[in-house]
């Protein structure tokens, strides 16, 4: 087990734990998270690629944090996020999650993070409760066929 944990010493990936998870996902616009188990072969095999993803997101100046949670060390997070298989990937948009279920390649994930983080979420507070439902959300910068059009439902 100790050898497996050593393999998860990421250079570019933010480490989230039970103590900093909530704050990180709610105080940042976009956080892409891998939930992993050190004993999972798929997780171990993906370490280098995931670190490349985080490095590319940083180097391109993409407005997102790439993070990872070791569910064996942060069981409360795994339970609250209903993590049942590994690795599980989610993107958090101001604390609200969307499960990532596309290809697990560097290009696919970086493209997805770029797409999500390029969406402009404009929350307009209502000045008159009877006129505008709270909160009112407008999303721009996405095609009408984008699956991210459903983001408004989260707000």
> Per the omega criterion (within 30 degrees of 0), is the bond before 87 cis?
yes
Percentage of residues in the chain having pLDDT higher than 90: 69
Residue 14 has pLDDT above 90, yes or no: yes
Do the strands 88-93 and 96-100 form a parallel or antiparallel pair, or are they unpaired? Answer: antiparallel
Q: Which residue is it, tokens 């000045």?
A: 127
What's the mean pLDDT in 125-152? 53
pLDDT value at position 6?
54
Higher pLDDT, 102 or 126: 102
Look at residues 34, 96, 98, 45 and name the one whose alpha carbon lies nearest to residue 71.
Answer: 34
What gap in Å lies between CA 23 and CA 2, rounded to an integer?
28
Could you tell me which CATH number the domain at 2-118 has? 3.40.30.10
- Record the tokens describing residue 54, joined without a space: 């985080």
pLDDT band at 11; cut points 50, 70, 90: very high
What's the mean pLDDT in 139-150? 58
> Per the omega criterion (within 30 degrees of 0), is the bond before 75 cis?
no
Percentage of residues in the chain having pLDDT higher than 70: 73
Per-residue pLDDT tens over the stretch 68-96: 999 999 999 999 999 999 999 999 999 99
What is the DSSP track for the chain?
-HHHHHTT--SSSEEE-TTTHHHHHHHSSEEEEEEE-TT-HHHHHHHHHHHHHHHHHHHTT-S-EEEEEETTT-HHHHHHTT--SSSEEEEEETTEEEEE-S--SHHHHHHHHHHHHHSEEEEE--SSTTTSPSSEEEEESS-TT-GGGGGGGG-
pLDDT value at position 144?
58
* Domain ranges (residues) in the chain: 2-118, 119-155
What's the mean pLDDT in 104-131? 75
What is the pTM (predicted TM-score) of this model? 0.77
Per-residue pLDDT tens over the stretch 40-75: 999 999 999 999 999 999 999 999 999 999 999 999
């Amino acid at each position: 087990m100790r050898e497996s944990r050593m393999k998860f010493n990421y250079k570019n990936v933010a480490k989230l734990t039970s103590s900093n998870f909530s704050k990180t996902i709610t105080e940042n616009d976009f956080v892409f998270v891998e939930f992993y188990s050190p004993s999972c072969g798929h997780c171990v095999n993906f370490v280098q690629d995931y670190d490349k993803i985080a490095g590319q997101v940083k180097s391109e100046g993409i407005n997102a944090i790439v993070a990872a949670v070791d569910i064996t060390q942060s069981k409360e997070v795994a339970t609250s996020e209903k993590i049942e298989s590994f690795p599980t990937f989610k993107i958090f948009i101001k604390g609200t999650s969307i499960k990532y279920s596309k290809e697990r390649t560097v290009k696919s994930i970086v493209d997805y993070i770029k797409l999500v983080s390029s969406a402009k979420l404009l929350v307009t507070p209502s000045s008159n409760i009877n006129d505008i439902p709270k909160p009112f959300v407008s999303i721009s910068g996405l095609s009408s066929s984008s699956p991210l059009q459903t983001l408004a439902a989260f707000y």
